Amino acid sequence: MSLKQQTEWFVLYTAPRAEKKVKERIEMGGGECFLPLHRTPRVWSDRVKMVDIPLYNSYLFVRTTDTELRTYLKIPGVVRIVFYCDKPAVLRQKEIDTIQAFLEQAAEQPLCSGDEVEILAGVMKHVSGKIRKIRKDYLLLYIEQLGATVCVKTGSVARIDRLLKR
């Protein structure tokens, strides 16, 4: 394999909220790609659900050769190739590994007793409290402003530090 034909990680910019579909289309065509996703609570008027969202909105990483990279522009949802210094932006394998390690470490950080959380739905929406006990499907929260302990579904709370990063 010549130096020009070496596969590298390139960055594609996608249409808004099209990252998962573009990844699916690339993989169906036999391409290799990486879409870093993280799990976060999303609030609707009637429920809270944990969903996987892209770590970087509208960005997707593909492993290919420089010559094959242009063919990805034909895939619906791909807007453009990201360039740096007049060349397609290249990520080293080390950088991809670092992103993967970060996501694995973040996924292993479950809620713990003593964590400060905010209730995301229901009559106590936006009220914060400290976790006293953790059960399978619910938490016991101590809410200081009420001086009371309440029972809340595990999926309807989010750690305060996670909310600040949004």
Q: What confidence tens digit (pLDDT) does each residue in 103-153 have?
A: 887 776 677 788 888 888 888 888 899 989 888 778 899 998 888 888 888
Please, where are the H alpha helices in 7-127?
A: 19-28, 66-69, 93-107
Q: What is the mean pLDDT of the chain?
A: 87
Phi, psi dihedral angles at 98 (to 5 degrees): -65, -40
d(CA 109, CA 112): 8
Q: Which residues does 139 contact at the CB level (< 8 Å), separation at least 6?
A: 111, 117, 131, 132, 133, 151, 152, 153, 154, 157
pTM of this prediction exceeds 0.85: no
Task: Determine the pLDDT at residue 112.
Answer: 78
